[in-house]
Amino acid sequence: MQRREVVRFLGAALALPFLPRSAEAAIEAGEQLHLRLGGGEVPFRTLNGAQQVLVTDIAGMIIPETDTPGATSVKVPQFIDLILSEWASDDEKAVFLAGLADIDARASALASNSVQPQSQARALRFVDLALAQKTELLTALDAARTDTAGAGLAFGRLKALTVYGYFTSKPVQEEILKTRMFFAGYQGDVPFTPAG
């Protein structure tokens, strides 16, 4: 698979306002972020603990672990936090984080509409829902991902960033796409036979 074919997988991500406009530049930037993440634990700086769990859960549903790596195993949640921390403006971050809160609010409303035990005193969050309820909510949010605010916008960006982070990761490029997009350095040990 060639680099330009990977661009097809990145479609919606390239429309995000805080990513490079050029597909080549966006791929290169994603690879560089993954190199930083691969060097050890990069602490979350934008997402708080509850938001980290939410983003991890949704990213894992968008690209689940199967016989190939899932989004969480290639550090997509950390990748998203790094992009938010270093590339998104304060306004873009605020809109995204408000949208994550709206996802939890919609999850709570969905849970209250279904039969819940009387002992359920606290509002449920997305991560507390049953898989069928999560799927129902994400399906509705996917249809609303062109919204200009709220849960639909946050899900649209989260989906685009998940795909972007996934397909620019080294394991996915090498194991799934069967391409080597990361530059591994000069290999100067090619056998040489002098002419003569």
**pLDDT, tens only, 87-135:** 999 999 999 999 999 999 999 998 887 655 544 556 789 999 999 999 9
Q: Which residue has the tokens 């509409």?
A: 113
**pLDDT, tens only, 22-54:** 777 888 888 888 988 886 777 899 999 999 999
For range 176-192, the mean pLDDT:
56
The least confident of 93-97, 165-169, 177-181 is 177-181
For range 172-178, the mean pLDDT:
76
Residue 3: is its pLDDT beyond 60? no
Residue 11: is its pLDDT beyond 70? no
pLDDT tier, 182 (very low <50, low <70, confident <90, very high otherwise): very low
How many angstroms separate the CA atoms of 124 and 121, rounded?
9
Binning the chain into helix, strand and coil, the percentages to the nearest 5 are 60, 0, 40
The answer to whether residues 6 and 30 touch, using CB atoms and an 8 Å cutoff, is no
The least confident of 54-63, 76-85, 169-178, 184-193 is 184-193
Burial class (CB in 10 A: 0-12, 13-18, 19+), 178: exposed
C-alpha distances in Å from residue 125, one per residue of 28, 60, 97, 98, 137: 36, 16, 15, 14, 12
In the 8-state DSSP scheme, what is residue 44? Answer: P
> What integer pLDDT is reported at residue 119 of this predicted model?
43
For range 3-19, the mean pLDDT:
61
